Amino acid sequence: MSKLKENRKKALMDNDWDMVIKYGKMEIEQEPQSVKILNDLSFAYFKKQDYDQALICCDKIHEAIPTEDLKVLSEKYGIHYMRYNEVLGEIYYLQGRDEDALEVFDRLKVLGPYYSKKYSLTAKILIRKKDYNGAVKEYADMRTKCPRHYKVATNGLLDLVDVDPLNEEVYTALFNAFNEAKDVQNIILNYDALRKKGKASEKFLYILIHLHCCSGKYEDAMKIAREEIDKQPDNPHLHVFLSRIYQHLMEYPKAISCIKEAIKLDKHNEGRYRPSFDALIKNLSTYEKKLVGSINTHIRNRKCLDAIHSSEKLLEITPEKKSYQTALIKVIEKSISIFLAEGNIEEAVMLIDRLETLTEKYSHVPVQMEAIKKQVSDKRVTVYENMISGEKLDGDQLDRVRYELANIYLTEVNDNDRGIALLQEVAEAGGQHKSDSHYFIAQHFKNQGP
């Protein structure tokens, strides 16, 4: 090793940039196209903030080795001597030449964990361009591919919460970072302790809510969100977070209501909440299609109760939607037919009872109620009597069964004594069928004559 080279390397290790430049300039006169010397010179000039000279060194390297395949070059010259690319990218970044900087940093990514600024500075450029999801990805990649720089990556994500507090990707990336470090529960405990003392900043409050969500603890997240909304009712972000929690729980009407409240609170920045609202509506549409598909599948497989459950879910989403009201009634109607075909009379009768209630509520849906009842008229007596004697029913449900059974006895089976006795029991119970029972008794005795 020449004395000049030895001195340059020592100066580089000592961070003595002036000496690196002194010896490097002397060496380059002897080897004007030495990539290694020019690399060290570019770095020294950069540290001295002499960006013009640093760029000249980088240009000379490109003249000497025009290839852009840094993987190939690193294998030939060594990883250390690829630093000029980071120098070049950082100067472009400082000069505001964002596209040039991004091109250099993207080229550097083939070198794996080396030169971590390719991630952090790319993230900062993307933040300048308001591409926050892109910035999240860069910090996440930095955390996984450059694990020694975990803190820089995590701090970058924390800063992004301030910049874009509604970005779910940020919170997911933070959860993944804390989870990998096995620190999620400790952070939750610390943040919650600060919250209860009234010392948690909005940033840490928002992170706390999302850490619970990412852990699948939606009830805990909801509790915190509601408590904080009570303290800060005019904070639109909290309403957005509560909306997301409801969405995870498939409670879409509540989720939509929360988003609308956020927009109402911050009308001048409605566009800020539009992505969350649009994503919610898209997810709702997907969920509805999934439910409709599941209804058809369950009916085909004769899984009637599952089909009814999916129909109920549809109606929960939009209670006033007539097509969903119709869907529930028609699914119950179809299920009754299936149960009857299978000889499952008790299930059929119970559904007939429910169907009658629904047809009263949704009178616009045509149902052949009398035809359905006729199919099981001879078997309903046994089923209803068993239901009453089994003491599994109470309240209005029991009264309806008694009332229906009384109607059968008085109009079809001709057991007037049992029919009147049942009506008297319903009238004495004082529920919603009390008046109808009194009227039915009166009509019966009137028709019987003196």
Based on the domain organization, do 442 and 384 belong to the same domain? yes
CA distances from 264 to 258, 274, 318 (A): 10, 12, 22
| Position 343 in a domain | yes
**CA dihedral sign, ordered 8, 12, 18, 21:** positive
pLDDT of residue 1: 56
| Position 431 in a domain | yes
d(CA 79, CA 297): 59
Based on the domain organization, do 402 and 421 belong to the same domain? yes
Q: Left, alpha or beta for 343 (phi > 0: left; psi -120 to 50: alpha)? A: left
Q: pLDDT tens digits, residue range 217-228?
A: 999 999 999 999
Based on the domain organization, do 391 and 411 belong to the same domain? yes
| Position 395 in a domain | yes
| Position 34 in a domain | no
pLDDT of residue 377: 66
Domain that holds residue 424: 376-450
Based on the domain organization, do 397 and 355 belong to the same domain? no
pLDDT of residue 416: 83
- State CA 346 to chain mean position distance: 41
Based on the domain organization, do 422 and 359 belong to the same domain? no
Q: What is the DSSP letter of 251?
A: -
Burial of 66: CB neighbours in 10 Å, binned 0-12, 13-18, 19+: exposed
Choose the final residue of a domain: 316, 351, 373.
373
Based on the domain organization, do 315 and 362 belong to the same domain? yes
CA distances from 369 to 64, 217, 329, 336, 437 (A): 90, 45, 11, 11, 21
Based on the domain organization, do 356 and 396 belong to the same domain? no
pTM over 0.85: no
To 10 degrees, what angle do helices 202-214 and 218-231 make? 160
Choose the final residue of a domain: 342, 373, 404.
373
| Position 282 in a domain | no
Based on the domain organization, do 432 and 364 belong to the same domain? no
| Position 286 in a domain | no
| Position 398 in a domain | yes
Burial of 360: CB neighbours in 10 Å, binned 0-12, 13-18, 19+: exposed
How many angstroms separate the most distant Cα atoms in the chain?
A: 134
Based on the domain organization, do 385 and 337 belong to the same domain? no
Based on the domain organization, do 362 and 384 belong to the same domain? no
With a cut of 70, which residues of the chain have pLDDT below it? 1, 377-378, 449-450
- State CA 365 to chain mean position distance: 36
User: What is the number of domains present in the chain?
Assistant: 2
Choose the final residue of a domain: 373, 392, 412.
373
Based on the domain organization, do 340 and 399 belong to the same domain? no
The values of phi and psi at residue 30, to 5°, are -85, -35
Neighbours of 237 (CB within 10 A): 20
Neighbours of 156 (CB within 10 A): 24
Give the residue among 315, 335, 316, 317 at the shortest CA–CA distance from 326.
Answer: 315
Q: pLDDT tens digits, residue range 296-330?
A: 999 999 999 999 999 999 998 888 899 999 999 99
pLDDT of residue 393: 75
pLDDT of residue 125: 97
pLDDT of residue 450: 57
